[in-house]
Amino acid sequence: MGIKTLFILALLTVGVYSDLNEDFSPVHYCFVNPPVKTRLSPNLLENITSCTHLVYGRIPINRDNGYPEYSVSDVESGYDIDNIRTFLRMKSQHPRAKFLMGVERTTPFEDTLHAGKVANGLKKHAKSKRFDGIFVTLNGIHLEYRSSTTFLETISKEKSLILTFGITGRRVFAHEAVRRLQEINSLVEHIYLDMGELPSNEEPSKITQINPLFSNTSIPFEETIQGTVEELSKEGILPSRIVVGLTAGGWKYEIKDSQDPLRISHGMFAKEAGKRVAYQDACKARGAVIYDWKSMNEITVYRQSWMSVNLPTMTAMGEKIKWILGQNFAGVGISDALTDDPRGDCGTDPFPAHRLAMDLIRDTIPANPAKCTRLCYLDPEEVDETFPIDNLKSDYCSHIVVHYFDLDLKNTVVFSEKAVKLVKKIDQWKNKIIDVAPDLILSLGSKQITGVWQFILANDFRRKELADELVKTLNTSTAAGLEISWTLEPMANEFDKKNLKALIDDIVLADVEKKVDLLVATTPLSSYSNFYDYQHLNELVLIFLSPSSSIFSRTADLIVLHSHRLHSESLPMTGHPSPLRATSSMRDAKMTWEALLNHWTDQKVLRSKLVLSLTASTLSMQSLADVRNSLSDPFGQPAFVSLLRSKNSDIHSQQEICESLEAATGITHWVDVAEVPYLRRYDQMVAYENTRSAHIKAVWASMEGVGGLALHNIQQDDPNAVCNNRTSFPLLDSLSRAQVCQKCLKQHDFKKCEQHDFIVSCNFELKKNTPLFKTDIVPYERCTEVVVEQAKLVLGGNITFKDSQQEQVLKNLTAMRPKMLKCGMVLSLSCGDSEKHLNYILGDNMTAAIDNVMNVMDKYKFSGVQLDCEKAIRRGNHQSIQNNFTEFQIFFNTFVRKLAKKIENAKASNGCNRTLSARFSHFTRAPSTYYSISLLNRLSHISIRMTDKDQVDLPFFFNSSDPLFPSTEKFVNLWKNVGLKSEKLVVEVSPFGWQDGQKEGEKRRMSQLDNCETVGNKAIFQHDYETLTGYTTHQNTTVHMPMIEDFRYKIGYIQREQLGGIALNSVNGDDYTGICGRGSFPILKSIYSSNNCR
């Protein structure tokens, strides 16, 4: 057993984990744009506490030097007004907000050099005024030219300044606007979509509704919030990057005398140009009021006046804000404060629109359902009123379990006032999430000793009365279920086993409507004593309703194993509450996750019913062993046990662990076999979980196919994000990222042409293998497509193969094409290694290239093409490609678009539709910079190769010893974040492993067949649950190989993230001979066969 000492900086790996999945809190942009000669009040937005970004003005920057054209009241002048200084003083009222200078340019840039000059001048002034950043609006045709990108790129290089780009709905559909936004996307913190101006506003007298949410018969889809953001999302600009801007007030139009005001609609023409009206003026308007349920606006008609107003009520503007927050946009903005009734003239509190946004942001939690079963336990006695439940993400927990019912010798069952208050708090939190909120489970008896349980359950009348009372209480509450938790002490005998079984039956019988989910918590000691009726918990049971009638009903929906209580402070030895496996020094090898799970599965209990537990709490022990000895064997050492020992100085929570490490009062160690950490502080040993151990347990449990995981005492899981000031509930965050729930994949029917829900792409290399890989053993029936590697696009638009041997292998494949029936056979087409080379081909011979691709497909009976052109496109952010990017993008995108159209109009030789896909690797770090994401979304799928130069998979998750190393998880998120649809993303994995070489970092690539020949097919491999590989020692070196369990886990991850499928990057690397003793192609076949899926 090895022990690794973790340095303090490496310890706090919480931050590394959370980089991939940052907390989401909606932003609120608040605007202050005082008219000229108007003095700004320093307390203007004092009571609007939700503003995360405050923007001052819309200052022109049309000068060539970029200097803002301040008004006489923006800065100190003869009027003795300095509104900018007053604005910046508001930082004392909004200490966490970012204060931005709002600027607007209407004059086009002459060229990129001019744009850079303007940007540099603007940066200088923004810094001199001590703004936190700049809010830029380009009001004109700027987005038609790349100089606008240069302008923003120059500003973005100043890291001390935050940059937001504002664009109106009117400009989104302009020429080149979306392409420019794709370039800008990575340069700015947010893209602010101001829906105050729409394409209709190109004609000033055209009647326009204000901020319409949905379309109706008169409002086109592209003029609505929904339509505009959908256009941006389609082009790869995700909602999480967009802040939707709403308007306080509305539009007012004077209509022609010949027009009937009641028949006016969006898009008609008024007598004169429309005017923006502030809400404090709009609320006083007289006339007939009509509410438009599509645009969510109030229409006021009076004589020949027509006005569309953003009414700041829950049923009007509130519906827009709720929709925006519900779609997981970055946030919302209201412009501006001075048009939002700042004095309360309308008879309500001042700033009604801002207050509405503030209330909804405060009361809205992003609604994402938990993707696997994950139980979160709260103890009312440990949770005070300050517990920040709003920091708990909706997808962290599928169930929240609260200790609620106590057994009572007199009243059978009681519940405390603290429990009632906590449930009320949870209900309020759930109301903010609505449809995907976790289920609430009320727990019974977790704090009662065995004697109380025995007294109540031994009497049939009291037991049935208890069951009836429990079901009655549950049916009148918001709870979805009940947990029976006889766990404070273990059960004592067979009578206890019988009585627990009887209580379960009584509850099932009392639940006439079958609405109550039933969970049963179990202890390790009672489990190993076999005091549970395993068959009864596992199956449907016959319940007798009367002498003449009976029904079958389930007993336990879930069985919660208390695998977080495998050691106790009352034992006279050191240990850990939840070791994964037993170390050599542990006194009882059964007290591990692995042993406890094996015990229950040996009793034939369904894995899908079992839930394994860990805890956010710590276990403190006073070790009597010498520190040096305990470092090599930390568990099983003598410990001091005393009921009189004060626990006030003990470490109890994740937060206190972090504080001890930061203060250097403790040092933490890692135990390899048990896969858990502990902290040594003086003579105190503190056993606990960290994000790494939680991650490993989640991956291990997922591979074992258990039904779920439970985290107890989540109130100790750093809910206030003290450890890194970023991630609340870090253990839950780690569990939610690593836990997968494998669903069994149904093998596709390769005899039918069908749209596959899950792609299994098999790459076959056109080469001679040793031993011989005959083409007739290609396992096409296991693949939705076989990708043949590889042809090359060369000058003149011709298609060539490497040598005659490759062509011969291809001819052999073509001969067996009829046997493959409807399975796809796809040609992988390389575009060479040179961008210049590819530009020549596409610039001069694009038509010939497309025709030659189609000819090769016909000749060799290919059903599709996979473009592998990444090497010909520079993947770094080089200036040279930035300068020549537009021309190249036009060539490449046109080539792909024309080829796709040609392929769409033709059938393959097997009668199925032809396909066009593309392949990229982790070297493409900024996909939207080089490719049209909307075009990629129209292809069959996009395969992402996650291998290094040796064709070996990257670590699947981050490596704690090298957090900056690329990982599969990181690049899957990257492609999703640039707008590639999840269902289009296919993750490519490799069957190859490697053997460490003599030099550091040296690798010798090994296929599955090579591995078995080298180490033998009986070698025992250990799992690395972060890289998802197995490893074993051989002849003083280490052999690393991906195992079948690793592939099955990756499939579970792909299913959980709803990706398009999996690609095996070389079937040649699988054991195609069967020498490993598991038959031929064991990895490929494992995709459809697993004992641990459900």
The two three-digit tokens of residue 1069, written as one number = 């690397």
Does residue 981 carry a pLDDT above 60? yes
Closest CA to 527 of 586, 599, 431, 428: 599
Q: What whole-number distance in Å separates Cα of residue 882 and Cα of residue 754?
A: 41
Torsion of CA 920, 925, 929, 930, to 10 degrees: -30
Residue 115: what pLDDT?
95
* Cα–Cα distances in angstroms (integers) from residue 130 to residues 28, 162, 752, in the given order: 21, 12, 66
Backbone angles phi, psi at 488, to 5 degrees: -60, -45
Asked if 211 and 311 touch (Cβ cutoff 8 Å), the reply is no
- Give 50-82 pLDDT, tens digit per residue: 999 999 999 999 999 999 999 999 998 766 789
pLDDT range class, residue 6, cuts 50, 70, 90: very low
Q: Which two tokens stand for residue 194?
A: 């101001």
What are the pLDDT digits (tens) for 174-207? Answer: 888 888 898 888 899 999 999 999 998 889 999 9
The closest alpha carbon to 1082, from 996, 1020, 1012, belongs to 1012
Task: Report the pLDDT value the prediction gives residue 160, as an integer from 0 to 100.
Answer: 93
Helix (H) or strand (E) holding 412: strand 412-415
Provide the CATH topology of domain 374-617+688-738. Answer: TIM Barrel (3.20.20)
Instruction: Specify the higher pLDDT residue, 463 or 1035.
Output: 463
Q: How confident is the model at residue 643 (pLDDT cuts 50, 70, 90)?
A: low
Residue 798: its pLDDT value, please? Answer: 92
Phi, psi of 757 (to 5 degrees): -70, -30
Buried b (16+ CB within 10 A) or exposed e, 394-430: bbbbbbbbbbbbbbeeeebbebeebbeebbebbeebb
- Residues facing residue 59 across a β-bridge: 103
Question: Taking residues 383-403, what's their average pLDDT?
Answer: 94
Q: How confident is the model at residue 878 (pLDDT cuts 50, 70, 90)?
A: very low
Evaluate the CA torsion angle 131, 135, 139, 142 in order and state its sign.
Answer: positive
Residues making up the chain, counted from first to last: 1094
The predicted pLDDT at position 871 comes to 84
- Over residues 580-618, the pLDDT tens digits come to 999 998 999 999 999 999 999 999 999 999 999 999 999
- pLDDT of 546 > 60? The answer is no
* pLDDT digits 0-9 by tens, 994-1016: 998 878 778 889 999 999 989 98
pLDDT digits (tens, 9 = 90+) for 924-947: 887 877 788 888 999 999 999 988
Mean predicted confidence (pLDDT) in 893-904: 92
Consecutive H or E run containing 504 = helix 494-510
28's tokens: 């609120």
Taking 50 as the threshold, does the pLDDT of residue 10 lie above it? no
Helix ranges (DSSP H) in 138-221:
147-156, 169-172, 177-184
Positions of CATH 3.20.20.80 in the chain: 27-362, 374-617+688-738, 760-991+1043-1069+1079-1086
Higher pLDDT pick, 804 / 729 = 729
14: pLDDT confidence band, cut at 50, 70 and 90? very low
- Residue 879 — very low, low, confident or very high, per pLDDT cuts 50/70/90? very low
Q: What are 30-42's pLDDT values in tens digits?
A: 999 999 989 999 9
CB-CB neighbours of 722 under 10 Å: 15
Per-residue pLDDT at 19: 42
pLDDT at 1 over 70: no
Question: Mean pLDDT highest for which of 218-232, 287-301, 738-752, 801-815?
Answer: 218-232
What's the pLDDT score for residue 5? 38
pLDDT at 309 over 50: yes
Task: Specify the 3-state DSSP secondary structure of 898.
Answer: helix
Question: What residue type is assigned to position 1014 of the chain?
Answer: T
Could you report the per-residue pLDDT of 758-776, keeping only the tens digit for each?
Answer: 999 999 888 766 567 777 7
Q: Which CATH number fits domain 760-991+1043-1069+1079-1086: 3.60.40.10, 3.40.50.2000, 3.20.20.80, 1.10.287.1770?
A: 3.20.20.80
Which residues on neighbouring strands pair with residue 785, listed in sequence order?
761, 824
414 has a pLDDT exceeding 50 = yes
Contact 738, 761 (CB under 8 A): no
pLDDT at 11: 33
pLDDT attached to residue 882: 44
- Look up the CATH architecture of domain 27-362: Alpha-Beta Barrel (3.20)
Q: Which of 758, 777, 693, 685 is nearest to 731 (CA)?
A: 693
508 burial level (CB within 10 Å; 0-12, 13-18, 19+): buried
Tokens 């669903």 belong to residue: 743
Angle between helices 177-184 and 225-234 (to 10 degrees): 70
Residue 941's Cβ-side half-sphere holds a number of Cα atoms within 13 Å equal to 27
Three-state SS for 521? strand
Q: What is the CB neighbour count within 10 angstroms for residue 569? A: 16
Q: Kindly report the average pLDDT of the chain as a whole number.
A: 88
Residues 321-365 have pLDDT tens digits of 999 988 889 999 999 999 999 999 999 999 999 999 999 998 877
Q: For residue 15, is pLDDT > 50?
A: no
| pLDDT over threshold 70, residue 85 | yes
Amino acid 526: pLDDT: 98
Alpha-carbon distance of 752 to 978, in angstroms, equals 34
Tokens of 418: 């603290």
Catalytic residue annotation: 870
**Is 1071's pLDDT higher than 70?**
yes
What are residue 915's DSSP bridge partners? 864
User: String of b and e for 1050-1080 (b: at least 16 CB within 10 Å)?
Assistant: bbbbbbbbebbbbbbbbbbbbbbbebbebee
Distance CA 825, CA 214 (A): 44
Positive or negative, the CA dihedral 429, 430, 435, 436 is: positive
Query: Quick one: what percent of the chain has pLDDT higher than 70?
Result: 92
Q: For residues 851 and 139, give the distance between their C-alpha atoms in angstroms, rounded to a whole number.
A: 44
Please name the residue that has the structure tokens 């209709």: 200
pLDDT (tens digit per residue) in 561-573: 999 999 998 899 9
